[in-house]
A = this chain, B = another copy of it.
Amino acid sequence: MKILIIEDEPRVASFIKEGLEEKNYKTEVAYDGLSGEKAAKEPGIDLVILDLVIPGKNGIEVCKSIKSANPDLPVLMLTALGTTADKVTGFDAGADDYLVKPFDFPELLARIKSLLKRKTHTTQQPESLKVADLELDLLRKVAIRGGRVIELTAKEFSLLEYFMRNKGRVLSRVDISEKVWEITYDTGTNVVEVYVNILRKKIDRDFEPKLIHTRIGMGYIFGDQQ
């Protein structure tokens, strides 16, 4: 779990940073609004701790920007201003929680845990995806099945990830080519079939149960049932 801290006061920033790293969270620090906003849009960030008063760009603005780009990324607002009006403004900007300085570190930690728990519980963005006995390592970009590591090319990985994130529902060729190839599907190509075929050889050929199923006239469905 990686947490981005957007805070201009070095003492506060390092206080949080060290406390979190002691609890085995990865951290990243940004000292102003613009660089923080940019950092928040990088992949791999699981939560943002955002000070309301920072140089460069207002914390409220940064929060709105983060939330419009990625609504599922939890933002915990942090500020010395403790009046109700400020809190309401913070929530309206999309913040998921609000903490007033000075605060005790255990409370910060508890609120972070709550936000992350909710996140993994609802929008599950783990480091790997699992379906039946197949695991897709999102960091190493490889698949693992039956104890064997299966290397994947970029397109193969992308297709398998799309399948696994949408297990249990029929995906049409149009869906697949739009999401994985970002093309408008025209009947003149059969890339989807070719790559499904390649994936089958890699992850289904030597294993049971089969995970990629054809639904003729509809598309494909991924999963261990049926």
Determine the chain B residues whose CB is within 8 A of the CB of A95 once the complex forms: 114
Asked if A194 is at the interface (CB within 8 A of a chain B CB), the reply is no
Instruction: Give A122 to B221 CA distance when docked, in angstroms.
Output: 23
Least CB separation from A170: chain B residue:
B141
B87 touches A170 (CB 8 A): no
Chain A positions 105 through 141: 1 when the CB is less than 8 Å from some CB of chain B, otherwise 0: 0110111011000100111000000000000000111
Chain B nearest CB: distance from A174 CB in Å?
14
User: What interface size band does chain A fall in?
Assistant: 35 or more
A139 touches B84 (CB 8 A): no
A106 touches B123 (CB 8 A): no
Within 8 A of B (CB), among A201-226: 215-218, 221, 226
Least CB separation from A127: chain B residue:
B169
- Candidates B104, B118, B153, B155; contact of A118 at CB < 8 Å: B118
A104 touches B84 (CB 8 A): yes
Please name 14 pairs of A and B residues whose Cβ atoms are closer than 8 Å in the assembled complex, sorted by A. A84-B107, A85-B106, A87-B107, A88-B110, A91-B111, A91-B113, A91-B114, A118-B118, A139-B168, A141-B215, A149-B226, A151-B226, A154-B215, A155-B217
Q: A-side interface residues toward B, CB under 8 Å?
A: 71-72, 84-85, 87-88, 90-92, 95-97, 104, 106-107, 109-111, 113-114, 118, 121-123, 139-142, 149, 151, 153-155, 157, 168-170, 215-218, 221, 226
